[in-house]
Amino acid sequence: MTNKSIVFIGFMGVGKTTIGRMVAEKLGREFIDVDEEIEKEYEMRISDIFEKIGERAFRDKEKSVITSLCEQTNKVLSLGGGAFLQEDIRELCMASSYVILLDLSFEKWKERINLIINSRPVLQGKSLAEMEELFYKRQEVYAKHHLKVITDGHTPGEIADLIINTVIEKGR
């Protein structure tokens, strides 16, 4: 097992934070949620940052937070679902860390909409068809990863175990 950080990517609401936290605990590593770091820096919720300062400023902050986190090792990071839209972030994470894509089918994702809609400004005001379009469009930027884990039908604990086994098997 190397000391590279593990970075979780994937669409909003797929379980990056829940599973990331479990993996970190099992590996005895520190877990850092990038959105939480940004909220701490601004002392505001993400939805307020989008509303009051704008998405551009959020994306710039997202890049600077991820850039400094990627200089560290031995962490488990959860990135916001839009972070990989920025090529610099994709390249940096792929070069410095072990990137894991959490993949959920749109059918299963739909069941979670009510749980996440209020805290995700990117989804506000969108019809289900528009959300579906965004879901599939985003898959293009998630194509860059080291490991893809399909989460449909599995509990977070099962997925965390699978990841640990894979990461250890790969000698990381």
Binding footprint of ligand S3P on the chain (CB under 6 A): 12-13, 16, 35, 46, 80-82, 120-122
Nearer to ligand S3P by Cβ, of 2 and 130: the residue is 130
Q: Report yes or no: 103 and 147 within 8 Å, Cβ to Cβ.
A: no
* Least distance between ligand S3P and beta carbon 26 (Å): 21
Return the closest-CA partner of residue 103 out of 6, 14, 34, 23. 14
Nearer to ligand S3P by Cβ, of 133 and 170: the residue is 133
Nearer to ligand S3P by Cβ, of 16 and 90: the residue is 16
* Least distance between ligand S3P and beta carbon 168 (Å): 26
Q: Report yes or no: 62 and 17 within 8 Å, Cβ to Cβ.
A: no
Cα–Cα separations (whole angstroms), residue 2 to 14, 73, 93, 95, 167: 26, 9, 15, 14, 10
Nearer to ligand S3P by Cβ, of 9 and 163: the residue is 9
* Least distance between ligand S3P and beta carbon 153 (Å): 21
* Least distance between ligand S3P and beta carbon 150 (Å): 17
Q: How crowded is residue 91: how many other Cβ atoms within 10 Å of its Cβ?
A: 11
- Both ends of the chain: CA-CA distance in Å? 3
